[in-house]
Amino acid sequence: MFKKISLSMLCAASAFAMHSAEINVNNADLELAAKLDVGQFNYNVEPNTIFVGAKYLKADEKHSDVNKIYDYQEINFLMQRDVSHEFRVGLGLKLNHTKEFVSTPLGIGALYKLPITSSVPFYLGGSVYVAPEVLSYDKADNFLEYRATLEAEAIKNGFLRVGYRHIDTNYKNFDVEFNDSICFGFKFLF
């Protein structure tokens, strides 16, 4: 019986193996993100090319233009490829939600390994996601998110990050700068 339970737990752990986990913070905001590399458990998909993930942002009014702000959640899908050894580009889709706001933005992201000759590799990344009115639901009018990050691989598969994020969740009756902030954090690859 113990062998069956152990084997079942091992199979479940490999099926839910996380490709990356992130935590980004500043003096008022907390952001958690996880991405699962579909290629880790599906032999028909090349590893490091297709990802599904989730993100949670507990934002504060300090980095917004409204008095009351609600938590932000998203699930995402990303396909990416290496253009060269130093440059990677991806196309993605998200389903995001805050109170009374739902949208499905489409986007593009890129990651570039800086040609710095040091023992610590540095990466510069960025992404832009947009949902026009046709991809915005409930009371949403449109959505815009852009990010920029600088990462240093301090240890193998462990990154120190500093980044900037700007998220606009615009409603039909008013515009909201949901979050505009600088953050720092960690990213781990598994």
CATH code for the domain in which residue 151 is found: 2.40.128
Q: Residue 157 — pLDDT band, cuts 50, 70, 90?
A: very high
Q: Residue 18 — pLDDT band, cuts 50, 70, 90?
A: low
Residue 7 has a pLDDT of: 40
pLDDT at 114 > cutoff 50? yes
Average pLDDT on 82-109 reads 96
Rounded to two decimals, what is the model's pTM? 0.88
Average pLDDT on 22-32 reads 96
Question: Range of 66's domain?
Answer: 2-189
CA–CA distances in Å: residue 85 to residues 8, 78, 81, 113, 150? 38, 19, 10, 8, 18
Residue 8 has a pLDDT of: 43
Number of structural domains in the chain: 1
Average pLDDT on 109-121 reads 93
Beta partners for residue 79, in sequence order: 50, 91
Task: Calculate Rg over the CA atoms of the chain.
Answer: 18
Considering only residues 93 and 38, tell me which one the structure prediction assigns the higher pLDDT: 93
Dihedral of alpha carbons 159, 98, 164, 127, sign: positive
The mean-pLDDT minimum among 2-6, 38-42, 90-94, 109-113 falls in: 2-6
- Determine the length of the chain: 190
Residue 42 has a pLDDT of: 78
How much is the mean pLDDT over the chain?
89
